[in-house]
Structure 1
Amino acid sequence: MKPIIKNILAVIAGLIIGSVVNMGLIMISGSVIPPPDGADVTTTEGLKASMHLFEPKHFIFPFLAHALGTFVGAFVAAMIAANHKMKFAMSIGGFFLLGGISSVFMLPSPTRFTVLDLAVAYIPMAYLAGKLAMKNNNI
């Protein structure tokens, strides 16, 4: 397979699989840590209106979803990419970071969570995934 096609497929697969992991964790989060009483988590407007009811434990799964979704997506992209594996892992991290930044504007959250999420869940996870993928390819 031509390297350019393989690299394009790497980005597409990384974005899709990372998004599936992200959404899967978000979907199960309510059954693991139930939302606060009176919180409507089915709509963005409901989340905005009830954000003041959320405790720190309610932000664990969103952080894990962002971090693990980015990590898995970046790892998949780096494993599939024909060359420049770290660049592809970091590009997935960049895409997910843009999504994280946009979600901050759409859905307000506590500043501590926002800073932690944007600083740790995207670029560092993509970097770790890229390193792991490169190590696995050298075996």
Structure 2
Amino acid sequence: MSFLKTKVWPVVAGFVVASIATMIFEYINSFFFPLPKDLDWNDAEAVRAITASLPWTAYILVLLGWIVGSFKGGWVAAWLSGESKFRVSLALAILLTLAGIWNVMMLGHDIIFTVIGLPLLFGGTYRGYRAAVAKRPRMFFRGRGNGVAAPML
């Protein structure tokens, strides 16, 4: 049960928070670059054609959403795990990167977006982890301070 509370649950919660934050940015982006109403999402070639026709400015809010989402997810995962090590946030970073790869493969994003965006998922998660570690008192992290286990919030 402890493994679920300190390892699995923080990764799941971080992924949900990161996904919601990313979706908010992508929703805002849809007002600036609306998709055709008759777009068939089951037709992969049509989706890739629409994605390829978007200007490079359409990717700015998407990249910002990936950065903010991974930051918030990394922060939540580190905060809930109560660890001072990067392990739980690293698991989240790997999960977010796999989701990003799936997104790139399904939508056919530009190669520059892929090269820039996927490393940002790791960077954002790491920065979120660092922010959580810096904000939380040292004694609350497992394996640090006076050895007291972190309270489960």
List per-residue Cα deviations over 1:36-82 (Å, max 9, x = no partner).
7x686673644312223211110112112222111111110101113
Q: Secondary structure at the match of 1:122?
A: helix
In 1: Cα distance, 2:10 partner to 2:63 partner: 24
List per-residue Cα deviations over 1:66-105 (Å, max 9, x = no partner).
2211111111010111325421112111110001112222
Q: Which runs of 4+ in 1 moved over 6 A?
A: 39-42
Partner of 1:111: 111
Partner of 2:80: 80
Partner of 1:123: 122
Partner of 1:137: 136
The sequence identity of aligned pairs, in percent, is 23
Q: Is the 1:26–1:62 Cα contact (8 Å) retained in structure 2? A: yes
Gaps of 5+ in 1: none
Displacement of 1:35? 3.6
Partner of 1:57: 57
Displacement of 1:117? 0.6
Partner of 1:68: 68
Superposition pairs of residues 95-110 of structure 1, within 5 angstroms = 95-110=95-110
Q: Is the 1:40–1:47 Cα contact (8 Å) retained in structure 2? A: no
Choose from 34, 40, 43 the match for 2:41: 43
In 2: Cα distance, 1:42 partner to 1:128 partner: 37
List per-residue Cα deviations over 1:102-129 (Å, max 9, x = no partner).
222212122111100112x211111111
Q: Is the 1:74–1:130 Cα contact (8 Å) retained in structure 2? A: yes
The change in CA–CA distance for 1:40 and 1:84 in structure 2 (over 3 A counts) is farther
Q: Is the 1:39–1:53 Cα contact (8 Å) retained in structure 2? A: no
In 2: Cα distance, 1:58 partner to 1:40 partner: 20
TM superposition score normalised by structure 1 = 0.82
Task: Point out the structure with max Rg over C-alpha.
Answer: 2
TM superposition score normalised by structure 2 = 0.76
Structural RMSD (CA): 2.4
